Amino acid sequence: MTKTRRRALTVALLATLVATLLTTPARATEATRTYTGTIDGAEFRVEVPARWNHTLVLYSHPYYTPQVPGGIGHAGRAETQAWLLDHGYALAASDFKGRNGFVVQDALEDQVNLLDWVDRHVGRPHRTVATGSSMGAALAIMLAERNPGRIDGVAAMCGPLDLNGTWNVSLDITFALRTLLAPDAGIDLVRPRDAAASVGALDAAVGTAVDSPQGRARVALANSFGNVDGWGSAHQPKPPTVEGQVRAMAALDQLFFVGTFGPVGRVDLERRAGGNPSFNTGVDYRRQLARSTQRDLVVQAYRDAGLDLEADLDALAAAPRIAPDPKALAWMYRYAVPRGTTPSPVLTLHNIADGADPANERWYAGQVERRGDPGSLRQLWAGRATHCAFSAAEEIVAMRALFARVATGRWPSLDPAQLNAAAGRLAEPFQRVFDFATFTDLPRPPAFTEFSPGHQPRPSH
């Protein structure tokens, strides 16, 4: 089996497993009323327990590829959905028109349409909490910003919150991979003439590179521009060697930055934005490396390989740059960049090592400092790796903290030791964590911790 076919099979398997975790229906009971239907082309699902506490949890789903099977989820994990229903919370989610890809414009409209439907057909909630994972975390925040008075709190899970900046970071990584590993392979990073061929060429270049010290050094340099950590498993410790860490970076490249958000993802993005919104004009990659959380790893990898780091930085500086289409960039600022105004309290939860750079949380806190109320924001960290790798116990404890803030106007104690003790009191089914690296779902102890992220490499503001 070729590397490209293995990667495609891995993407499909991952999508299936993630979809199972995200979209398994909450536990059905005779007393739960379930509503399904379509609003303006967007499918939806609403579940209301018999003893509704008149709080509605509105879930925004992550970026879906076409391989993700159908089904509408209401929270991060199925156990979290069941707990919410059992404790009186009604659940609602739209699948968004088109469902797959960068559906942010449609999502922001479809979720409000669903809130209107709930008001008419179920009853106006006393409180509404918006939540979401990955892309959906940014959507949940923007829904609250755009609809003050309708959203009473936000729980944003594992969010690449500066979505526009995150697409620019993805461009930086693939730009460096192409320049350093396959400069003559005819790879189109934006406006791709043959997106699948460009993905295949990038995928092959990364797959070959990790088998040599020189290639691994260049993969490390490319990933440093996105603060990509070399810790890739939620169940296993961080690899102790440079080689192990760079191989984890390469796996993330092939699955996400190349496979999902590379040239094929650009086709969808550019169709929605009306052109290419991403750019690296004016970017100083020496400066980006100097600010990166992975700088020391890069220096060590180049030293081990006997390569000249300055020569490769010169090559990046000399490579032709990519400019945005102004109208497409304006579209991104309109639909993909939260402002940080916090009309309602926001709680975030992020793993300390995640391809959706934890630095997004630092960026968002800075926006809140400038435009919102810092007292309305609290940020929690789970001390493990990979994207959205939380147990239901961690999700539930975070949600309970937000519910308390919404109900009382005061944040409860968010001391990690107390949060871990609270999460640990939930039963074993609530303690499972899914690991992208091994495709396993295993019990893991609660992992709330203190953490200070690096700087967002390409902030929109």
221 with 295, same domain: the answer is: yes
Domain final residue, candidates 312, 332, 352: 332
228/277 same-domain check: yes
Do 137 and 14 sit in the same domain of this protein? yes
Clarify whether residues 424 and 347 are in a common domain. Answer: yes
Quote the pLDDT of residue 354. Answer: 96
Which residues make Cβ contacts (< 8 Å) with residue 48, sequence separation at least 6? 32, 33, 35, 90, 122
Q: What is the model's pLDDT at position 30?
A: 58
A 10 A CB-CB count for 443 gives 13
Per-residue confidence (pLDDT) for residue 27, from 0 to 100: 47
Q: Count of CB atoms within 10 A of residue 428's CB?
A: 8
455 within domain boundaries: no
**Mean pLDDT (10-residue bins), the chain, 461 residues:** 43 44 46 95 97 97 90 86 97 96 98 98 98 98 97 98 98 98 97 97 98 98 98 96 98 93 97 98 98 98 98 98 98 98 98 97 98 98 96 98 98 98 97 92 98 97 93
Strands 440-443 and 448-449: unpaired
Residues 130 and 173 in one domain: no
User: Which of 295, 310, 332 corresponds to the end of one domain?
Assistant: 332
One domain for residues 200 and 141: no
Structural contact between residues 207 and 255, judged by C-beta atoms closer than 8 angstroms: no
Domain membership flag for residue 456: no
Residues 326 and 368 in one domain: no
Order across the sheet with 377-385: list the strands.
Answer: 33-39, 42-48, 90-94, 55-60, 127-133, 153-157, 346-353, 377-385, 448-449
- Report how many domains make up the chain: 2
Pair of tokens at residue 351: 């793993």
Whether residue 216 sits in one domain with residue 148: no
Q: Looking at residue 29, what is its pLDDT?
A: 52
Q: What is the pLDDT of residue 78?
A: 93
Domain interval for residue 211: 164-332
461 falls within a domain: no
Domain boundary among 291, 311, 332: 332
Cα-based angle 15, 19, 22 (whole degrees, multiple of 5):
140
Q: Is residue 127 part of a domain?
A: yes
154 and 302 fall within a common domain: no
Do 197 and 287 lie in a common domain?
Answer: yes
The Cα-based distances of 254 to 203, 232, 355, 435 in angstroms read: 6, 13, 12, 17
Q: How far is CA 90 from the centre of its chain?
A: 25
- CATH number, domain containing residue 30: 3.40.50.1820
* pTM, rounded to two decimals: 0.94
Angle at 311 between CA 310 and CA 314, to 5 degrees: 85
Residue whose tokens read 């891995």: 10
Residue 89 · residue 19 · CB < 8 Å: no
Do 156 and 170 have their domain in common? no
